[in-house]
């Protein structure tokens, strides 16, 4: 009696289980067959500019024969059609095509293609008749040649700033500096060569700032702008570092002062003496050759005496 009841309960449970199983199976079947379900192989693809890229939109399940496929591009929150009524439109025209079943292939990407793209499939004969997939595309742009600026020559002990800028690269460029073809580390303390250098390197902005320039900082510098798409470099330029010799400058100034003093004193003396003596001296000068002339004339000719006198008067 007892065991029969138990048997009956067992049977009921088995029935319930079977019913449950059948229900599960049918719902599974129902949704699998009558639903459109999309998937992608890459939700966040990237390409370098001018390369091609696939935005994959695969149909996992569908029962409608000719589903409606659309692609939209969403940039700054604004959606626009990329593929509509079986035609590529907008700025992708002539640069993109659809590959079965719904994958969008862009053949020559440009930087303006960086955006969100939405693959939308409408399958009217399916119970769940719509599905969409969102894909974020990034088109990387290689940096162009950066503009580099550095002082041609800097005195020892002064500060100096070297700059490097590049605006085309996407994602934004990072910067490296090279000194005599050796990369300058972010932290000078990590390298024996740069250990005592006073610079601060900012790889985000491209500036290399020396607070106190040393002789060893002189040399050839160039900068590299880089991102995931590649890099570009400016041509190397020389930065000279020269000594300011304080003792030398003081000595130089002293020498100049002394020389100026000597010249001043000399001119004064000469001027004083010369001013009083010039007339006497010129008188003597005239007298001496005049005398000589006179003697000559006297010695050679008697008549010359008159001439001599007149010349003396003149
Ligand atoms: C790709 O597009 C650029 C302009 O965006 C053009 O200069 C270049 O020639 C194109 N390349 C190909 C292979 O079509
Ligand atoms: C750095 O400076 C210290 C002290 O002036 C000196 O002893 C050391 O040799 C210097 N190191 C290098 C690599 O020049």
- Ligand 2: centre distance to CA 220 (Å): 22
- Residue ending a domain, among 220, 242, 264, is 242
Instruction: Residue 228: give the domain boundaries.
Output: 147-242
For residue 116 and ligand 1, the question of a CB distance below 6 A is answered with: no
Do 53 and 94 belong together in one domain?
yes
**Regions of the chain where pLDDT drops below 70:** 1-16, 18-33, 275-314
Do 79 and 114 belong together in one domain?
yes
Do 229 and 154 belong together in one domain?
yes
Question: H or E element: which one contains 227?
Answer: strand 219-227
- Residue 244 has a pLDDT of 79
Ligand 2 mutation target, pool 195, 212, 215, 216, most atoms within 8 A of CB: 195
- The answer as to whether 304 is a domain residue is no
- Residue 301 has a pLDDT of 45
- Residue ending a domain, among 140, 174, 190, is 140
- Ligand 2: centre distance to CA 196 (Å): 6
- The answer as to whether 314 is a domain residue is no
- Residue 273 has a pLDDT of 76
Number of domains in the chain: 2
- Residue 28 has a pLDDT of 55
The rounded percent of the chain whose pLDDT value lies above 90 is 63
Q: Atom of ligand 2 at shortest distance to CA of 195?
A: 13
- Residue 250 has a pLDDT of 84
Q: Which ligand is nearest to the CA of 51?
A: 1
- Residue 251 has a pLDDT of 85
- The pTM of this model reads 0.65
- Residue 307 has a pLDDT of 45
Do 126 and 160 belong together in one domain?
no
- Residue 279 has a pLDDT of 54
Sheet strands (E) in 169-217 = 174-179, 182-183, 199-201, 208-210
Ligand 1 mutation target, pool 49, 108, 113, most atoms within 8 A of CB: 108
The domain spanning residue 66 has which CATH number? 2.60.40.10
- Residue ending a domain, among 193, 212, 242, is 242
Do 156 and 224 belong together in one domain?
yes
- Residue 130 has a pLDDT of 95
**Residue 241, both tokens:** 């570092």
């Amino acid at each position: 009696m007892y065991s029969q009841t138990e048997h009956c309960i067992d049977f009921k449970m088995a029935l319930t289980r079977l019913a449950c199983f059948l229900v599960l199976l049918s719902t599974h079947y129902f949704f699998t067959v009558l639903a459109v379900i999309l998937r992608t192989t890459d939700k966040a693809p990237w390409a370098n500019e001018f390369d091609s890229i696939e935005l994959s939109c695969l149909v996992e399940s569908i029962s409608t024969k000719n589903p409606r496929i659309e692609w939209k591009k969403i940039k700054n929150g604004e959606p626009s059609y990329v593929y509509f009524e079986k035609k590529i439109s907008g700025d992708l025209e002539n640069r993109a095509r659809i590959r079965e079943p719904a994958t969008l292939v862009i053949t020559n990407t440009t930087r303006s293609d960086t955006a969100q793209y939405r693959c939308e499939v409408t399958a009217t004969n399916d119970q769940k008749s719509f599905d969409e997939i969102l894909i974020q595309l990034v088109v990387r742009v290689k940096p162009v040649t950066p503009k580099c600026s550095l002082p041609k020559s800097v005195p020892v002990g002064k500060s100096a700033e070297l700059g490097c800028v590049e605006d085309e690269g996407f994602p934004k460029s990072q910067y490296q500096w090279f000194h005599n073809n050796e990369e300058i580390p972010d932290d000078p303390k990590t390298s024996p060569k740069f250990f005592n250098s006073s610079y601060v390197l900012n790889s985000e902005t491209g500036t290399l700032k020396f607070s106190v320039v040393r002789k060893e900082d002189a040399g050839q510098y160039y900068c590299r702008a880089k991102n995931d798409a590649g890099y570009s470099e400016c041509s190397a330029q020389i930065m000279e570092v020269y000594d300011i010799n304080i003792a030398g400058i003081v000595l130089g100034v002293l020498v100049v002062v002394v020389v100026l003093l000597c010249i001043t004193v000399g001119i004064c003396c000469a001027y004083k003496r010369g001013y009083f003596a010039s007339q006497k001296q010129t008188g003597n000068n005239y007298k001496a050759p005049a005398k000589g002339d006179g003697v000559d004339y006297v010695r050679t000719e008697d008549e010359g005496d008159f001439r001599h006198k007149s010349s003396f008067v003149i």
